[in-house]
Amino acid sequence: MTKEEQIGKLKRLGDDVIYALIDNPYECPIVINKQGIICFMSRFSKRLIGIDPDAAVGKHIKDVIKETHLHEILKDGKARIADLLYIAGKQQVISRIPLKDLHGRILGAVGKGVLNEAVKVAELSDRIEVMDGQLQYYQKQVSDLKGGATIVGRSAAIAQMKENAMLAAKSNASVLMTGESGTGKEVVAFFIHQNSARAGGPFIRVNCASIPRELFESELFGYEGGAFTGARSQGKPGKFELANGGTILLDEIGEMPRPMQAKLLRVLQEHTVDRLGGTRPIQADFRLIAATNRDLQEMVRTGDFRMDLFYRINILSIHAPRLRDIREDIPLLAAHLIGLLNEEMGWGASAISPEAMEELKNYDWPGNVRELRNVIERAMIIAKERLIRPEDLPERVRRSATGEPSLSSSIPAPHAGNLRRILAETERRTILEALRSAGGNKSKASKILGIHRTSLYEKMRTHGLDPDAEIDFSL
């Protein structure tokens, strides 16, 4: 069918049908001729932008709408689709389209709304922000959680943990993961997410120990543009918004400041968040998993953690065992880690000799699975052949096999007494062992401990350790 035939068919529909097609309240079009004079303005314009169509027709578009860009289409004849513009003080999504004859000559232009309600525009903008944030998290998860949906091991403790995780995956209840740093609590949380009805949604991890106190609210709940000095002009969605439809892991929840605990409790109860500087609550459909290496019940007793929040997050409880308590799983874990690291690096040793494996099984692993990965990655890099041998392992690991004292054994065990003192002494020993494992590198030690580097510095000072001084590990 030719264009002339199409036009003829359209004319036969009748003027009333054509007029109803053009003049509708959803697009509210404005038509100008090639001189920029308004030829047609929807009768709904008065309600939408406060302009009387009868008074506007016959005038230049700039004389009627000063902030318009419609006449710019006449210059180059190129359409602008779905631009975000302010018209009559309202944020709207507008398309501007040139009108041409059969020979391509410009006759005029039409401007019409795509979304002409400010609330809908704001909602669309929020959705785009959230989707953009989720995309960034997905990209990071591909790297950080590669192979992370697998719980490796055959010991009774691992079997029990996996059974509990599968039960948790069948419900939407909050889960509290407990266990020492480096025991793989995040892996278990991701396993629960991947085996739940929310597997198709985002998995958002928040390390509460790494967020500065003054930024907690904006990081978790987001903020509107201009909410505070330095805020992005378009605002930013919080972690709970990003977790909509999926799972949010609050790692190291014991480090959350007390004032934020009350706000978190309200979010868990109502499943809505209020952005900093915002005026409307935002629905958030998420499943919470919390993780900690601290004794939250003791923190409740001392007033450092809210009792009502503790019971709210502790509906289901899962404990991640220490690596030294599941030594029979070390060969399986080591083989799994070698496979992941080989895939990640594309080279390196691919097996462990029986002698080296024996030394791995005899070591106490204060840094747990995280330290095991660190040791294997180092050995894979420095090994002179495809097989990891004892000489490729760090000295501290080899000492344990020969019966020589390790750093942890050179520090006296805490005596019975005040619980706070025992905890402090244990924390000091753990920090020293992590520093020893990392060869004195504070950044690596903080990763082994699962805390931010600034938190490590603070804890070192608390225990009389100078973060700027070299620590003697020759013992």
Q: Write out pLDDT tens, residues 334-368.
A: 999 998 888 887 777 889 999 999 999 999 998 99
User: How large is the average pLDDT for residues 280-291?
Assistant: 92
Q: Residue 416: its pLDDT value, please? A: 45
- Residue 327, in any domain of the structure: no
Amino acid letter for position 39: C
Give the chain's radius of gyration (CA, Å). Answer: 31
Q: Greater confidence, 233 or 461? A: 461
User: How large is the average pLDDT for residues 223-247?
Assistant: 80
Q: What is the pTM of this model?
A: 0.59
- Residue labelled with tokens 């805020």: 231
Q: Residue 474: its pLDDT value, please? A: 41
CB-based burial label for 321 (10 Å; 0-12, 13-18, 19+) = buried
- Residue 243, in any domain of the structure: yes
Q: Residue 139: its pLDDT value, please? A: 47
DSSP element (H, E) containing 253: none
Instruction: Clarify whether residues 71 and 90 are in a common domain.
Output: yes
Please state at what angle helix 368-382 crosses helix 419-437, rounded to 10 degrees: 10
Q: Residue 475: its pLDDT value, please? A: 35
- Residue 313, in any domain of the structure: yes
Residue 60: DSSP 8-state: B
Which of 95, 116, 137 delimits the end of a domain?
116
Q: What is the pLDDT of residues 304-332, one digit of tens each?
A: 999 999 999 999 999 999 999 999 999 99
Q: Greater confidence, 178 or 18? A: 178
Instruction: Clarify whether residues 186 and 247 are in a common domain.
Output: yes
Q: Report residue 23's pLDDT band, with 50, 70 and 90 as the boundaries.
A: low
Q: Greater confidence, 333 or 278? A: 333
Instruction: Clarify whether residues 246 and 285 are in a common domain.
Output: yes
Which of 268, 300, 321 delimits the end of a domain?
321
- Residues forming beta bridges with residue 31, ordered by sequence position: 40, 110
Q: Is the pLDDT of residue 411 over 60?
A: no
Q: Give the burial string for 422-445 (b: 16+ CB within 10 Å, else e).
A: eeebeebbbbbbbbbbbeeebebb
- Residue labelled with tokens 């039409």: 110
Instruction: Clarify whether residues 289 and 156 are in a common domain.
Output: yes
Instruction: Clarify whether residues 144 and 197 are in a common domain.
Output: yes
Q: Return the minimum-mean-pLDDT range out of 136-145, 156-165, 358-367, 435-444.
A: 136-145
Q: Report residue 414's pLDDT band, with 50, 70 and 90 as the boundaries.
A: very low
- Residue 169, in any domain of the structure: yes
Question: Which residues are CB-contacts of 63 (< 8 A; sequence separation ≥ 6)?
Answer: none
Q: Report residue 12's pLDDT band, with 50, 70 and 90 as the boundaries.
A: low
Which of 116, 137, 171 delimits the end of a domain?
116
Instruction: Clarify whether residues 153 and 222 are in a common domain.
Output: yes
CB atoms within 10 A of CB 185: 27
- Residue 471, in any domain of the structure: no
- Residue 472, in any domain of the structure: no
Q: Residue 167: its pLDDT value, please? A: 95
* Cα–Cα distance list, 411 to 31, 51, 184, 345, 475 (Å): 84, 81, 26, 37, 10
Q: What is the pLDDT of residues 367-377, one digit of tens each?
A: 999 999 999 99
Q: Residue 146: its pLDDT value, please? A: 47
Query: What is the percent of the chain where pLDDT is above 90?
Result: 35
Tokens of 29: 């079009």
User: How large is the average pLDDT for residues 105-129?
Assistant: 67
The SS3 of residue 397 is helix
**CATH assignment at residue 84:** 3.30.450.20
Tokens of 101: 């004859």
- Distance, CA of 315 to chain centre: 23
How many helices (H) and strands (E) in the chain? 22, 16
Q: What is the pLDDT of residues 50-101, one digit of tens each?
A: 788 888 889 998 888 887 888 888 888 888 887 766 666 666 677 888 998 8
Q: What is the pLDDT of residues 287-300, one digit of tens each?
A: 999 999 999 999 99
**CATH assignment at residue 168:** 3.40.50.300
Instruction: Clarify whether residues 249 and 355 are in a common domain.
Output: no
User: Across the chain, what does the average pLDDT equal?
Assistant: 81
Q: Is the pLDDT of residue 115 over 60?
A: no
How far apart are the C-alpha atoms of 321 and 279, rounded to whole Å?
A: 45
- Residue labelled with tokens 């930024």: 215
- Residue 473, in any domain of the structure: no
Instruction: Clarify whether residues 264 and 402 are in a common domain.
Output: no
Strands 80-87, 90-100: pairing is antiparallel
Q: Residue 328: its pLDDT value, please? A: 94
Instruction: Clarify whether residues 181 and 280 are in a common domain.
Output: yes
Q: Is the pLDDT of residue 137 over 60?
A: no
Q: Residue 434: its pLDDT value, please? A: 82
Q: Report which of 474, 323, 324, 322 is spatially closest to residue 399, judged by C-alpha positions.
A: 474
Q: Is the pLDDT of residue 211 over 90?
A: no
CA angle 413, 444, 347 (to 5 degrees): 120
- Residue 401, in any domain of the structure: yes
User: How large is the average pLDDT for residues 451-462?
Assistant: 81
DSSP element (H, E) containing 451: none
Our count of domains for the chain comes to 3
Q: What is the pLDDT of residues 35-46, one digit of tens each?
A: 999 988 887 777
Q: Is the pLDDT of residue 406 over 50?
A: no
Instruction: Clarify whether residues 341 and 358 are in a common domain.
Output: yes
CB atoms within 10 A of CB 204: 24
Domain residues for the domain of 394 are: 332-462
Tokens of 242: 């990003």
